[in-house]
Amino acid sequence: MIPATREEVAAIVVAAGSGVRLGRELPKAAIEIAGVPMVARAVQAMFAGGADLVVVVAPEVWVERFAQFFPTYADRVKVIPGGLMRQDSVRIGLAHIGSAEIVLVHDAARPLVPPFIVDRVIEAVRDGAPAVIPVVPQVDSLRRIRRNWTVAVDRSTFLRVQTPQGFEADVLRTAHANVGDKEFTDDATMCEAIDIPVMTVPGDGLAFKITEPMDLVLAEVIARGES
């Protein structure tokens, strides 16, 4: 039984992207990594890390097919059609989290996120942070574009942001209600736009985002090594 003081945690797994950059017919989240669809791996990681309910936001014509990816958790996973932009998909997902007080937003394109990162983000929200992001250091040198020239910048002042990002559910609802037409790349940025402080926790290399074909090769090798 869930203790009365434990806040319920919902995770929104955004999986409604097309995956054109991977050059496949399938939506990116349906591509298998070592025999398991990316989105199924992401959902499994959310539960293993402490989520009670997962809302999967899928491409509209793929909703029924995606729903078959989660036989083990059928009663705790909702699959719904997404929107045009990532932030539309998150907003649609938010309407399906019920009474959960903590909400995670996770990219299905980060299927190998370790459950301890999910747990770390949830705990930081439980400890009082309204918005939490996992981050990793920037390892490459960085340059800023200046017209037709570039100048070096201090990479130690930059961090790379991963998911899941965690929020007090009401904070994320307020942020989404205030976005208007502006496009945001992630939900923490949206919270910052309404003056919500964003806390960082250490992320992990395994939470990398699958974007290019080479990322799929890497994920496949890692997943095979683990099974």
The residue ranges that bind ligand C5P (CB under 6 A) are 14-17, 28-29, 57, 82-86, 89, 107-109, 209, 211
Name which of 109 and 121 has its Cβ closer to ligand C5P: 109
Name which of 47 and 208 has its Cβ closer to ligand C5P: 208
- Whole-angstrom distance, CA of residue 15 vs CA of residue 42: 10
Task: Give me the least distance between CB of 160 and ligand C5P, in Å please.
Answer: 13
Name which of 86 and 120 has its Cβ closer to ligand C5P: 86
Name which of 6 and 21 has its Cβ closer to ligand C5P: 21
Task: Give me the least distance between CB of 79 and ligand C5P, in Å please.
Answer: 12
End-to-end CA distance of the chain: 31
Residue 166: what residue type? G
Task: Give me the least distance between CB of 180 and ligand C5P, in Å please.
Answer: 18
- Whole-angstrom distance, CA of residue 44 vs CA of residue 114: 10
Q: Which of 97, 99, 109 is nearest to 14 (CA)?
A: 109
- Whole-angstrom distance, CA of residue 97 vs CA of residue 168: 12
Q: Which of 144, 12, 176, 26 is nearest to 79 (CA)?
A: 12
Name which of 53 and 58 has its Cβ closer to ligand C5P: 58
DSSP 8-class letter at 17: -
Task: Give me the least distance between CB of 21 and ligand C5P, in Å please.
Answer: 7
Name which of 14 and 43 has its Cβ closer to ligand C5P: 14
Contact 105, 189 (CB under 8 A): no
Q: Which residue is nearest to ligand C5P (CB)?
A: 17
Task: Give me the least distance between CB of 38 and ligand C5P, in Å please.
Answer: 8
- Nearest-10 Cα torsion for 184, 96, 92, 134: 20
Task: Give me the least distance between CB of 118 and ligand C5P, in Å please.
Answer: 15
Assign residue 163 a region (left: φ > 0; alpha: ψ between -120 and 50; beta: otherwise): beta
